[in-house]
Amino acid sequence: MKIEKNIPLPRKQAKQATWAALVDNMDVGDSVLVNNVTERASLTNAIKAQGYEVTTRKEDDKIRVWRMS
C-alpha cells in the first residue's frame, strides 16, 4: 500500500442536496410518502437541518413524513 497526501475528500452533496431541495419546496403541513426507513431518516434529517419540526407515520408498507413548522 502507498500513503498519499493532500488528496481532497470528495463532497457527499448529491443526495443531501436532493433532500434539501425537496424540503425547500415543502410548506407547513406538506407531506412526502417515502419507501423505507433509510429515506425517512434522510428526509427527516434534512427537515430538521433547516430548523423545522417533523413527524412521521407508517402507511401500509411505506412511511409518510410531514413538515410541521
Alpha carbons within 13 A on the beta-carbon side of 5: 0
Q: How far apart are CA 13 and CA 47, in angstroms?
A: 16
* Mean pLDDT of the chain, nearest integer: 92
Torsion angle of alpha carbons 47, 50, 51, 55, nearest 10°? 0
pLDDT band of residue 9 (cuts 50, 70, 90) is confident
Q: How far apart are CA 41 and CA 65, in angstroms?
A: 10
Q: For a pLDDT cut of 90, what percent of the chain falls above it?
A: 81
Q: Is 0.95 surpassed by the pTM of this model?
A: no
Angle at 56 between CA 30 and CA 39, to 5 degrees: 90
Quick: pLDDT tens for 20-52: 999 999 999 999 999 999 999 999 999 999 999
